[in-house]
Amino acid sequence: MEENNQQKPDKPKGRINMYWIYGMLLVGLIVIQFIPFTHSARLISFEEFESNMLRAGDVEKLVVVNREYVKVYIKPERLSDPKYKEVATTPFNTTNPGPHYRFKILSADGFERKMEAIQSELKQKDPTYQPVQIYPEESMDWGSILSVLIPIVIVVAIWIFIMRRMAGGIGGPGGQIFNFGKSKATLFDKGQRVNVTFADVAGLDEAKAEVMEIVDFLKNPKKYTALGGKIPKGALLIGPPGTGKTLIAKAVAGEAQVPFFSISGSDFVELFVGVGASRVRDLFRQAREKAPCIIFIDEIDAIGRARGRNMFTGGNDERENTLNQLLVEMDGFGTDSGVIILAATNRPDVLDSALLRPGRFDRQIAIDKPDLKGREMIFRVHLKNIKVAPDLDIHRLASQTPGFAGADIANVCNEAALIAARKNKKQVEMSDFQDAIDRVVGGLEKKNKIISEEEKRIVAYHEAGHAICGWFLEYADPLVKVSIVPRGVAALGYAQYLPKEQYLYTREQLYDQMCMALGGRAAEEIVFGKISTGAQNDLERITKMAYAMVAIYGMNERLGNVSFYDPQQEYTFQKPYSEETAKLIDEEVRSLINKAYERTKNLLTEKRESLERLAQALLQKEILFQQDIEELIGKRPYDIKHQAEAAASMPQDRTVDSTNGQPESSDGQPRMEPVDEHQRS
């Protein structure tokens, strides 16, 4: 019977795609909708029944079903009659027990009355006539029941599926398809050698010392606990991207020779509710089994962001659950269980304070962008495997890459090798490194990007304007190199400066920086009397800087010493100040920028001759280095004085006031970018 296609699909064995099951359910549903529940009894009319069967005396019994239709059973001995040929046997060639026919009726009462009339008539004709028995029957209507039932079955099936996905981590019978709750951590076990050691990490001596101590905790816990000390549960590596946080964690794994779980914060985050928390649980369960061991969570800010701030984004709940689970797990194991957690982030300011509480990540290891010496050491590490010319000046390379992180330096070394190979050189030379630095800073050189003569002139004066300002403003960054070779997607010219390594900026310094950034546009206005879209990038930076000075660093008299620093974007919808303050901020920002612009124009007008000379030289040579500029317009007036000063006053106490001392975030950052790009839209 067709009802059989109702059968539930088999339980998934191993890798059955869930979509198959959905598909089968769907097909089943459609089949049921389209195939009527055919009864094997043939449908006939009442008249046919009356004349051919009833009056012939062939009927054994009648069953009235649900007062809707009547099933007709033919006497078995009469079935041999040729007129019943069609219904006499089943498809399996046995005698059909019936019902053999059916017909519809309008009402049961009317049917019974009709039957009585016919039967008494028959009785009169033939007194031996045996009246046909009529039985009522209530039967369930499978068709309509199933059409209600099947959607419910489908909904329940989907629901069970999702529940299993969620609960996967706790175990349960599911095969591999239900593995969503398992942690995705990569395990580097004892036997497996991680071939990164501390020797591969250049500089970062303090950080290395700290993590080495952690390795020691794991190896000789007794030594520390004997004196009553508690071993820290975790350490947080904090620093900008590419500074070697992952590298140092890997080195720990290589050195410690204990199992090492590595996972990224974003691996915990899934679309499905509860998955993150169950992954955390699973990770710690595995770790406890393998103790002593190290867990490394990269980009922990993906889950560790402060909780409960954004009222408008509902999606936070899942992340909060994950974070809560992490906190619970960190509290859950004792310090003697031999599991230590390392985590890395470049945004410590957005982390939830509960994570930083003692007893969790109680150690914080700062990893900064490398200074001159650090860069030199990183260069040496990465140059080990590169065939370089013997006269390569590594010190000069380091001094030409201010603001580069370790990852950038690794990139430069690799690029240089590729560039030299393309030129079929036997060894990598200084000029290849120069090109590589340019490429890393400014993108690919566009040899055939066509710019008109007129545009080139504008770019040359624009860049010369920046360069002049940088040269003659005391606190601006001295220029390393200026180029009007188009690079990257949008940059038409670019200049590279040498920012001093410093963490605190005075108002005068920021103001000079602003003027220098305005130099390009001011030069265009002075020389051509018109301005172009080329300054868009500069203006963006200037605006950010001005807002930072007024509203974040409290450097404005009218606003006073207030800061509306908002690292977590809490105030997206509601500003923490009044309308008037907002207006005041806008006013002050505008007047600050206007003042700076006037000053820049005055300076450039005064140095107009140097400006011309630089711009003309640029048009001719396209690239000018510091030395060329010195030859053209003389030595920089402040340089000698400054270098001595900077060396003497390197602030050593920067950890004391780290958040404000190092304006890391994009909105507060006055200048870490050595690049000055000019875009055309």
Q: Is 410 in the site for ligand ADP (CB under 6 A)?
A: yes
Contact 571, 497 (CB under 8 A): no
Token pair of 255, please? Answer: 């050195």
Residue closer to ligand ADP by CB (options 245, 521) is 245
CB of 571 to ligand ADP, least distance (A): 29
Q: Is 245 in the site for ligand ADP (CB under 6 A)?
A: yes
Q: Is 265 in the site for ligand ADP (CB under 6 A)?
A: no
CB of 195 to ligand ADP, least distance (A): 13
Sheet holding 234-238, edge to edge: 186-188, 260-264, 293-298, 339-345, 234-238, 363-366
Among residues 462, 439, 437, 430, the alpha carbon closest in space to that of 527 is found at: 462
10, burial (CB in 10 Å: exposed 0-12, middle 13-18, buried 19+): exposed
Among 98, 169, 181, 203, binds ligand ADP (CB under 6 A): 203
| Range list of β-strands (E), 200-329 | 234-238, 260-264, 293-298
Residue closer to Zn ion by CB (options 196, 482) is 482
Q: Is 247 in the site for ligand ADP (CB under 6 A)?
A: yes
Token pair of 460, please? Answer: 């040359």
Q: Is 488 in the site for ligand ADP (CB under 6 A)?
A: no
Residue with tokens 């079955």: 153
> Taking CB under 5 A as the rule, which mask of x and - marks residues 498-537 in contact with Zn ion?
----------------------x-----------------
Q: Which does 259 bind (CB under 5 to 8 A by kind): Zn ion, ligand ADP, none?
A: none
Q: Omega into 292 within 30° of 0, i.e. cis?
A: yes
Taking the C-alpha atoms of residue 58 and residue 195, their distance in angstroms, rounded to an integer, is 94
How many residues in the shown chain lie near Zn ion by CB under 5 A? 3
Tell me whether strands 260-264 and 293-298 are parallel, antiparallel or unpaired. Answer: parallel
> Taking CB under 6 A as the rule, which mask of x and - marks residues 366-395 in contact with ligand ADP?
------------x--x--------------
Residues 506-525 that bind ligand ADP (CB under 6 A): none
Residue closer to ligand ADP by CB (options 225, 669) is 669
Q: Which of 299, 376, 415, 463 is catalytic?
A: 463
Q: Which does 102 bind (CB under 5 to 8 A by kind): Zn ion, ligand ADP, none?
A: none
Taking the C-alpha atoms of residue 104 and residue 454, their distance in angstroms, rounded to an integer, is 94
Among 301, 538, 588, 664, binds Zn ion (CB under 5 A): 538
Q: How far is CA 112 from CA 101, 106, 247, in A?
A: 18, 11, 93
Residue closer to ligand ADP by CB (options 200, 622) is 200
- The secondary structure of residue 552, as a DSSP letter, is I
Q: Which does 410 bind (CB under 5 to 8 A by kind): ligand ADP, Zn ion, none?
A: ligand ADP
Among 70, 202, 295, 549, binds ligand ADP (CB under 6 A): 202
Q: Is 270 in the site for Zn ion (CB under 5 A)?
A: no
Piece of 97-105, 236-244, 456-464, 661-669 that binds ligand ADP (CB under 6 A): 236-244
CA 365 to chain centre: 25
Q: Is 344 in the site for ligand ADP (CB under 6 A)?
A: yes
State the residue number with the nearest CB to ligand ADP: 406
Amino acid at 363: R
Q: Which does 480 bind (CB under 5 to 8 A by kind): ligand ADP, Zn ion, none?
A: none
Q: Which does 244 bind (CB under 5 to 8 A by kind): ligand ADP, Zn ion, none?
A: ligand ADP
> Taking CB under 6 A as the rule, which mask of x and - marks residues 182-201 in contact with ligand ADP?
-------------------x
Contact 481, 495 (CB under 8 A): yes
Q: Which helix (H) or strand (E) holds 71?
A: strand 69-74
Q: Which does 520 bind (CB under 5 to 8 A by kind): Zn ion, ligand ADP, none?
A: Zn ion
Amino acid at 482: V
Q: Is 407 in the site for ligand ADP (CB under 6 A)?
A: yes
Q: Which does 538 bind (CB under 5 to 8 A by kind): ligand ADP, Zn ion, none?
A: Zn ion
579 is catalytic: no
Q: What letters, b where the CB count within 10 A reaches 16 and e where it falls short, cover 29-46?
A: beebeeeeeeeebeebee
Distance in angstroms between the alpha carbons of the first and the last residue of the chain? 72
For every residue of 334-379, DSSP letters joined together read -GGG-EEEEEEES-GGGB-HHHHSTTSS-EEEE-PPP-HHHHHHHH
CB of 458 to Zn ion, least distance (A): 11
**Who's near 635: CB < 8 A, 6+ residues apart?**
none
Residue with tokens 């410093």: 502
Residue closer to ligand ADP by CB (options 237, 624) is 237
Piece of 326-334, 403-411, 509-517, 660-668 that binds ligand ADP (CB under 6 A): 403-411
Among 28, 234, 242, 276, binds ligand ADP (CB under 6 A): 242
CB of 612 to Zn ion, least distance (A): 18
Q: Give the count of beta carbons closer than 10 Å to the beta carbon of residue 649.
A: 10
> Which residues contact Zn ion by CB under 5 A?
520, 538, 678
Q: What residues are labeled active site?
A: 463
> Which residues contact ligand ADP by CB under 6 A?
201-204, 239, 241-247, 344, 378, 381, 406-407, 410
